[in-house]
Structures are given as structure tokens and as C-alpha cells.
A and B are shown apart, each in its own frame.
Chain A
Amino acid sequence: DIQMTQSPSSLSASVGDRVTITCRASQSISSYLNWYQQRTGKAPKLLIYAASSLQSGVPSRFSGSGSGTDFTLTISSLQPEDFATYYCQQSYSTPFTFGPGTKVDIK
């Protein structure tokens, strides 16, 4: 199975900050990488698919990059509604494993 890691596991940031989250796969997954946001008590929401494609309706301050084993999610200017937990997930081969998550909270 492909293992996914994320760093950091948590971070504190202020509104307006630029935030970067890293995801790493245990083997090459090409660009089969998705990013999700989950707010407390809510269902997850797709932000980025295929490593860098912005899901319809998602603000352009979210962007993704990378291929192979190393990927990045960037929030260019953090907004109050962005405080949440972020997960990467590989969809290269089943089981479609998630990373452990990165919790973004208010500094």
C-alpha cells in the first residue's frame, strides 16, 4: 500500500498569512493527488484534484503543485473560513490512502 505523510501536523497562522502544507507519497503517484478541507463537524470538501487542478467553486487563493512523490498545497492569503484540517489523498492505486492531516488554527 502507498503511505502518505504530511507536514506539519499542525500550524498556527494569522488571517492574511501565506500557508504551505507538504504531502509526500511512499512511491511515485504521478499527479494522482487530491487535497481536501474538513471544518469541524462538517463533511470534507474537495479543493484540488490531479495535484494542481482547482475544483469548481473553490477560491483561487488555494493552489496545488507537485508530481511523483512530493506535493504542496498553498493558501496565498489565509481567510477566517480557512481554519480547518487539510488532508491529501492519493488516487493512484487502491487503497486510496489519506495523509494524517494538517490542522490550521488561529495564532
Chain B
Amino acid sequence: EVQLVESGGGLVQPGRSLRLSCAGSGFTFDDYAMHWVRRAPGKGLEWVSGISWNSNNKGYADSVKGRFTISRDNAKNSLYLQMNSLRTEDTAFYYCAKDRVGILTGIDNWGQGTLVTVSS
């Protein structure tokens, strides 16, 4: 069974940084691309970033480009999201998600999410 467990969320002040982690299990982690998706309170889903199986291809939403960095460590079956210069509008549940294949196509499994609150 695929399991994706996010960690690292919490309360942070505007302008500060936070690093999210995601531990994957139940599948061969380095065979699949991975994504981060968020949902702000009362709003819909927003794709944040994605990374191919070998880290050669990465993509970002315009709203986070230049502030967020996605990375992965296949030896540790882990996905990361480094979030810098955080803004109040970054407040959301952040979901780690697995792609159907090794390149960026579409998501087939999701974690339960971790809450990031950006507030002074």
C-alpha cells in the first residue's frame, strides 16, 4: 500500500522559511515523479511543484517560483519542499503526492497533508 507522510508544517512568521518533508513507502520511490499540492482554507486545490524521478525536470507554480525549491533524496525515499520568503497567502494544507509514472504526468496517490500557517 502506498503511504506518503508529510512533516514539517507549523506556524511561521511572514518572511521566514520552512522545510516540508515527505516520506514515501509501499512503492519503489525512485521510479516515480513526485508533487506538492496545496489547499488554502476555503479555496480549491493548487499545484505547487513537481519533480521527475531523477530530479532532472522540475516545475513550479507562478505563485511560488523563485521562493520555493523542490528536491528529493531517492536513497532516503524522501521528498522535500524548501519554502522561503513565506507570505500569508501561503497558508494552506500541503499535500505530498505521487505521480503515476517517472515523469511529470498526473497524481495517483496523496498524503494526508501538513498545515502551514503564515502569520505574525
Q: Give A contacts to B, CB under 8 Å.
A: 1, 32, 34, 36, 38, 43-46, 49-50, 55, 85, 87, 89, 91, 94-101
A100 close to B44 (CB less than 8 A): yes
- Indicate whether A43 sits within 8 Å of B111 (C-beta atoms), given known contacts A1-B62, A97-B47, A101-B44: yes
Chain B minimum-CB-distance residue to A87: B45
The residue in B45, B112, B113 that gathers the most chain A C-beta atoms within 10 A of its C-beta is B45
Q: Give B contacts to A, CB under 8 Å.
A: 35, 37, 44-47, 50, 59-62, 95, 100, 104-113
List A contacts of B105 (CB < 8 A): 32, 91
Q: Can you report 26 A-B residue pairs in the complex whose CB atoms are below 8 A from each other?
A: A34-B107, A43-B110, A44-B95, A44-B107, A45-B110, A46-B106, A46-B108, A46-B109, A49-B106, A49-B108, A50-B106, A55-B108, A85-B44, A87-B44, A89-B45, A91-B105, A94-B50, A94-B60, A95-B47, A95-B59, A95-B61, A96-B50, A96-B106, A97-B47, A98-B47, A101-B45
